[in-house]
Amino acid sequence: MSLQCACSVEWFNAQGIVLKRFKSSSSTLLMTRNDFRDIFIDLTADKSVVHRFLLKDIAVHKRFASDGKATINFKSDKAMLMISNAPVSQLADFLKTLFIKVTAHKDSPQVKIRERLFAVKRSETEEISPINLKDVGRVDKKLEGPSTKKKKLNNELVNHDVKNGYLINFRDKLTNEQKEIVDAINANYNIFFTGSAGTGKSFLLRYIVKTLPPDVTMVTASTGASACLIGGVTLHSFAGIGIGECTIERGIEMASKPQVAQIWRRCKTLIIDEISMVDGEYFEKLDKIAKAVRKRDEPFGGIKLVLCGDFLQLPPIKQGKPRFCFQTATWVQCNFRCFNLKFVHRQSDSEFIKILNDLRIGKIEPDTAIKLKATAFNLMEQNGIAPTRLCCRTADAQMINQKKLFELPDKEYKFQAFDSGPTKTLDEHTPVEKYFVLKSGAQVMLLKNISISSGLVNGARGVVKSFDKNGFPIVQFKCGNLVPIKPEKWIVKTPSGQFISRQQVPLKLAWAFSIHKSQGLTLDCVEISLGRVFEAGQAYVALSRAKSLESLRILDFDKKHVWANPDVIAFYNKLDRMVKSDKIYALGKQ
Ligand SMILES: Nc1ncnc2c1ncn2[C@@H]1O[C@H](COP(=O)(O)OP(=O)(O)OP(=O)(O)O)[C@@H](O)[C@H]1O
Ligand SMILES: [Mg+2]
C-alpha cells in the first residue's frame, strides 16, 4: 500500500525541541511488514528510503484528509510526519489500511524478544498485503459492543457496517467505460470525455478529482452552478482575466500578476466541466496566456487538460453564432484522447432514454411527438409538491418564484447565511443564497445530500409544511420523509488554496428555475414550457433533467422547439467514427 505525496518530517527531543527536519515535495510512503510481523511506513524520496517509521504508539490526525493532508505522530520515534498534496482517494485508502492493519496487529500473536535475538538471518521487509477479511474480522471484534459507531439521523439509526465499509473500493462503483477514462488520465493524456445527459460525466469527474494531487489540480466548470456540482470554481475565477473580453496582451498582463501567475504555474492538471459552454475564443486565449505565463510553448503551457461536457447541450452564451472549443486550432493541438460515454444512469426507462437520445440530435419520430404531447396530462402533484417549472429565461423563473411566495398567506421566515469569505465569490460558488425568505406552503429544492439512502439528496423536491421552535423549516419531501432542515456548511477552495465558507439552510425556492441554471441537475418532477426556447439543445437539456416520462409534464410540445447545431452533429459523427476505429486523437478542426 503506497501513497504519493509531499512530506515533511520533524524529529523532537524529550523537551519537544526540533532536532532534525526533512522535506520533500515528491515522496512515496510505503507500508511494509518484516518477518517479525512489525509494521512500518517507509518514506522514499529520490528513489532511496529516507526513513523507516515503526507503526507503534501512533496518533493520526486526518481532519484535513479531504484536502489531501494528514499528520502521523510516531510517539515512540518522537517524530511527526506531515503529509500533503496526496490524492484524496489514495490518502483515504492509505489511512484506512493503516487503521485496519495497526488495529488488527494488536490482536495478532507477537514475536517474542528471545526469538528475535536468536533469529539466524536479518529480518526482511516486504510491502504489506491489502486489507483482507481476517484483518477486518479482528477489527470488527474490537469495535463491537457499546463503542460501535452509530449515527442518529431523523429518528432512524444507521449502523455503519464496518465489514462492508472497509472493503468497499470506490472504483468498483464505476462502469467499465468510466474506468477506461480514469486509466487514460493516469496514463497522462489530454482527455475529452463526452456523452449524453445523465451518462455520469460529472459523477466521474468527482471521482477523478479525488485521484489527483489536490494542490496542483484545478477543478473548474464553465458556470457557477456546474462548478458547485463538482466542488470546483468557475473557469473565469481560476483564469484571473475577468470574463475574458480583454485583448490577449491585456490578458497576459492580468495573469502575470504574482498571485494569479502563481496559480497558473502551480497547475499541473486543469479540469473543466460543461465545456460546451466555454467560448472558443476564450479557450484560445487561455492557451496563449498559459504559454506566456508558464514560459512553455506546448499547448496550455504543458498543463494536462481533462475536459468534459456535451456539446449537444447548451452552447456558449454569446451574441450571434457560437464558436465551440472544438472549432479552434488550440483544440487540435491539444491532441485529446476522446471518449463517448453511452450508458445513461439518470433514466432507467429505455423508451424515455431512446426519446431523449433522438431529441439530442434534433430527431423527432411522429410517435415521439405524440408521447411528449401526452405528458401535458401527467398528474404529478403529490403530498402538496408541485413540479418545478423550467423556464427558458432566468427573469421568468425569478418572477414566478417571487409571485408564488407573495401569494402565500402565512408568516415569513427569513434566512441569513453566515459567510466567512467574500459574498460575491460565495454567491457564485455555492448553490444557496445569502438571504432568502420562506413561508409554509413554499415549494423548495434540497441543495445538499443529507441522507442518500433516504432519498434526501441534492435536487430532492419538497414543500415547507411548518417551522420548528427555532424557526427552521420542516419539509415534506417527494420521497415521503418529513424532515426538519438545519443549516449546512459549504466550503469552497479558492484557486489560491484558501478555504472560504457559507453556512445556510440548504433550500431554494423551486416553483421555477431557468433551463440554464438546471444544466447538470437531476430533478424529481418537472414542468416545461418550450414556447420561448432560443438555443439549440435547450429543450433537450430541460427534458433530460427528468428521471422518467411520468415525472415530466410538457405543456406545449412542438417539434419546432427542438433542434441541434449542425456543426456539433458533424463533430459527433466524426467522434463516433474515430472512437470506433480507435483513432481517438486530434479530433477537431483539421
Ligand atoms: N457509475 C455510476 N453508478 C451509479 N450512479 C451513477 C453512476 N454514474 C452516474 N450516476 C448517477 O447518474 C446521475 C447522472 O449523473 P451525472 O449528473 O454525473 O451525469 P452527467 O453526464 O454529468 O449529466 P449532465 O450532462 O446532465 O450534466 C447521477 O444521479 C449520478 O449519481
Ligand atoms: Mg454533468
> Ligand 1 centre from 522 Cα, in Å?
8
> Distance between CA 289 and CA 264 in Å, rounded?
9
Q: On the CB side of 21, how many CA atoms lie within 13 Å of its CA?
A: 6
Q: Please determine, for residue 108, whether its predicted confidence score (pLDDT) is greater than 70.
A: no
Contact (Cβ atoms closer than 8 angstroms) between residue 376 and residue 555: yes
- Residue minimizing CA distance to atom 8 of ligand 1: 200
Residue 357 has pLDDT above 90, yes or no: yes
Give the pLDDT confidence of 295-310 residue by residue, as tens digits: 999 999 999 999 999 9
Q: What is the mean pLDDT of residues 82-111?
A: 83
What is the average per-residue pLDDT within 527-537?
A: 85
Average pLDDT, the chain: 87
Q: Per the structure block, which three cell numbers stand in for 181?
A: 477514462
345 lines ligand 1 (CB under 6 A): yes
Domains of the chain: 2-112 (2.30.29.30), 163-341 (3.40.50.300), 356-561 (no CATH)
Residue that wins the pLDDT comparison between 55 and 500: 500
Q: How many other CB atoms are there within 10 angstroms of residue 121's CB atom?
A: 6
pLDDT, residue 111, reads 60
Interval between CA 516 and ligand 2 midpoint (Å): 13
Task: Tell me if 84 sits within 8 A of 66, measured CB to CB.
Answer: no
- How many CB atoms lie under 10 A from the CB of residue 430? 26
The pLDDT tens digits for 325-352 are 999 999 999 999 999 999 999 999 999 9
3-state secondary structure 121-143: CCCCEEECCCCCHHHHHHHHHHH
Q: What is the pLDDT of residues 453-465, one digit of tens each?
A: 888 888 899 999 9
For range 70-98, the mean pLDDT: 91
Nearest residue (by CA) to ligand 1, atom 1, is 174
For residues 554 and 529, what is the distance between their CA atoms, to the nearest angstrom?
6
Q: Which residues are annotated as a binding site?
A: 195-202
Q: With beta carbons less than 8 A apart as the criterion, state whether 104 and 138 touch.
A: yes
pLDDT of residue 156: 33
Which residue, chain included where needed, has cell 475577468? 242
How far is C-alpha 564 from the chain's CA centre? 28
Count how many residues are written for the chain.
590
Local structure of 316: helix, strand or coil: coil
User: Which of residues 418 and 318 earns the better pLDDT score?
Assistant: 418
Q: How far is the CA of 273 from the centre of ligand 1 (A)?
A: 13
pLDDT at 330: 96
Q: At CA 45, angle to CA 41 and CA 49, rounded to 5? A: 50
* Per-residue confidence band for 159, with pLDDT thresholds at 50, 70 and 90: very low
Tell whether ligand 1 has an atom less than 6 A from the beta carbon of residue 448: no
Q: What is the C-alpha to C-alpha distance for residues 210 and 200, in angstroms, rounded to an integer?
A: 16
Q: In terms of Cα–Cα distance, which of 204, 243, 452, 431 is closest to 340? A: 204
Average pLDDT of span 526-545: 88
Residues 497/243/209/546 CA torsion (nearest 10 deg)? 130
Say what the alpha-carbon torsion angle 534, 539, 541, 547 is, to the nearest 10 degrees.
160
Q: Is the CB of 542 under 6 A from ligand 1?
A: no
What's phi and psi for 442, nearest 5 deg?
A: -70, 135
Question: Within 430-559, where are the H helices?
Answer: 515-518, 538-543
Nearest one of 336, 328, 285, 343 to 308, comparing CA atoms: 336
Categorize the per-residue pLDDT at 168 as very low, low, confident or very high, splitting at 50, 70 and 90: low
- In this structure, what C-alpha cell is assigned to residue 382? 403529490
Query: What's the rounded mean pLDDT across residues 122-145?
Result: 67
Compute the Cα dihedral for 513, 514, 520, 525 and give only its sign. Answer: positive
Q: Is the CB of 310 under 6 A from ligand 1?
A: yes
What mean pLDDT do residues 249-276 have? Answer: 94
Phi then psi dihedrals of residue 434, to 5 deg: -65, -35
- Taking only the tens place, the pLDDT of each residue in 176-201 is 999 999 999 988 889 999 999 999 99
Q: Residue 319: which pLDDT band, with cuts at 50, 70 and 90?
A: confident
Distance 202 CA to ligand 1 centre (A): 6
| Residue 154 pLDDT class (50, 70, 90 cuts) | very low
pLDDT at 35: 77
DSSP string, 3-20: EEEEEEEEEE-TTS-EEE
CA 234 to ligand 1 centroid distance, Å: 20
Three-state secondary structure call for residue 531: coil
Atom of ligand 1 nearest to the CA of 310: 25
Q: Taking the CA atoms of the chain, what radius of gyration do you get in angstroms?
A: 27
Query: What 3 state SS string does 345-357 have?
Result: CCCCCHHHHHHHH
Q: Which of 73-82, 219-228, 269-278 is most confident? A: 269-278
More confident: 444 or 247: 444
At position 183, the amino acid (one-letter code) is D
Mode of pairing for the β-strands spanning 526-528 and 552-554:
parallel
Rounded (5°) CA angle 63-521-268: 50
Alpha-carbon distance of 574 to 312, in angstroms, equals: 14
Atom of ligand 1 nearest to the CA of 205: 18
| C-alpha span between 443 and 461 (Å, rounded) | 8
pLDDT number for residue 576: 82
Can you give the pLDDT at residue 50? Answer: 78
Which residue blocks in 471-543 are alpha helix, DSSP H? 515-518, 538-543
pLDDT given for residue 241 in this prediction: 87
Tell me the best of 344, 346, 452 to mutate to test the pocket of ligand 1, counting ligand atoms within 8 Å of each CB and taking the most.
346
